[in-house]
Chain A
Amino acid sequence: MIEIDIKKKLHGMNGEMELSVNLHIQEGEFIALAGESGSGKTTLLRILAGLESAEGSISVNKEIWQSSSFSLPVQKRGIGLVFQDYALFNNMSVIENLLYVQKDKELANKLLELTELTELRDRIPSRLSGGQKQRVALCRALMNRPKLLLMDEPLSALDPLMRTKLQNEILTLHKEFGTTTIMVSHDPSEIYRLASGMVLLNLGKVVDEGSPKDLLLKTSGSQKFSLQGELLDIVKYDVIYVAIVSIGQQLVEVVISKQEADGLVIGQSVRVSTKAFNPILRT
Chain B
Amino acid sequence: MFEIVTNLEWKPFILSFELSLITACVLFILMLPLAWWLSQTKSKFKPIVEAITALPIVLPPSVLGFYILMALSQNSPLGKFFYEVFDVSLVFSFTGLIIASVFYSMPFMVQPLQNGFESLNKNMLEASYISGKGKIETIFRVALPNMKPALMTALIVTFAHTVGEFGVVLMVGGSIPEETKVASVAIYEFVEVMDYTQAHIYSAIMVLISFATLLGVYIFNRRQNEKLGLL
CA of A214 to CA of B18, assembled, Å: 74
Q: Is A223 in the interface zone, CB < 8 Å from B?
A: no
User: CB-CB contacts of B209-231 with A at 8 A, as 1s and 0s?
Assistant: 00000000000000000011100
Q: Is A157 in the interface zone, CB < 8 Å from B?
A: no
Residues in chain B near residue A49, CB distance under 8 A: 126, 130
Q: Is B7 in the interface zone, CB < 8 Å from A?
A: no
B221 to chain A, nearest CB (A): 15
- A-B pair number, CB within 8 angstroms: 65
Residues in chain B near residue A51, CB distance under 8 A: 126, 129-130
Within 8 A of B (CB), among A163-206: none
Q: Is A88 in the interface zone, CB < 8 Å from B?
A: yes
Residues in chain B near residue A225, CB distance under 8 A: none
Which of the residues B127, B142, B229 comes within 8 Å of A83, measured between beta carbons? Answer: B127
B123 to chain A, nearest CB (A): 4
Closest A residue by C-beta to B226: A126
* A90-B146, A100-B141, A126-B229 known; A83+B133 contact, CB < 8 A: no
Closest B residue by C-beta to A143: B131
Residues in chain A near residue B121, CB distance under 8 A: 85, 87
A266 to chain B, nearest CB (A): 37
Q: Is B124 in the interface zone, CB < 8 Å from A?
A: yes
Residues in chain A near residue B131, CB distance under 8 A: 100-102, 140, 143-144
Asked if A91 and B130 sit within 8 Å, CB to CB, the answer is: no
Chain B CB count within 10 A is highest, among A77, A83, A85, A143, for: A83
- Interface size in chain B (residues, C-beta < 8 A): 19
Asked if A89 and B132 sit within 8 Å, CB to CB, the answer is: no
Residues in chain A near residue B145, CB distance under 8 A: 91
Q: Is B47 in the interface zone, CB < 8 Å from A?
A: no
Asked if B132 and A101 sit within 8 Å, CB to CB, the answer is: yes
Asked if A87 and B133 sit within 8 Å, CB to CB, the answer is: no
Closest B residue by C-beta to A85: B123
CA of A75 to CA of B134, assembled, Å: 7
B117 to chain A, nearest CB (A): 15
Residues in chain B near residue A125, CB distance under 8 A: 229
Within 8 A of B (CB), among A120-150: 124-127, 140, 143-144
* A91-B146, A100-B141 known; A81+B126 contact, CB < 8 A: yes
**Which A residues lie at the B interface, using CB under 8 A?**
49, 51, 74-81, 83, 85, 87-91, 100-102, 124-127, 140, 143-144
